[in-house]
Amino acid sequence: MAATPTREVARRVFAREFNDATYTFKESDDDRAPVYALLPTGQRVNRIFVVGTLTETEDVGEDSEYWQGRVVDPNGDTFFTYAGQYQPDAAPTRPTTAT
């Protein structure tokens, strides 16, 4: 029997720590092998858990909707997130701005 693949646990990471990660790698040549980021702490991650306040959204797509979001973490540092064609459930939940 083939083993059922499981997702790795998402790691809690502050924006500065994630943004300072400059090295990425794969542990296998398989097309579907996960890509890891090496954090300054030495921990490898391929999924992160983001906590913060969504402060801006912008449709940056040219041919179709592709949204960029700015999330500010508790330390005041910034994550940029994206949702579009490959995140069909996330794109429609973008916030609307009151005028």
* Amino acid 8: pLDDT: 86
How far is the C-alpha of 99 from the C-alpha of 92, rounded, in Å? 20
Beta strands 44-45; 48-49: pairing state: unpaired
Where do the structural domains in the chain lie, given as residue ranges? Answer: 8-49, 52-94
How many beta carbons lie within 10 A of that of residue 43, not counting itself?
13
User: Which of the two residues, 64 and 13, has the higher pLDDT score?
Assistant: 13
φ, ψ for residue 17, nearest 5 deg = -60, -45
pLDDT at 66 > cutoff 90: no
Look at the block and give the residue holding tokens 């300072």: 20
What is the average pLDDT across 48-52?
91
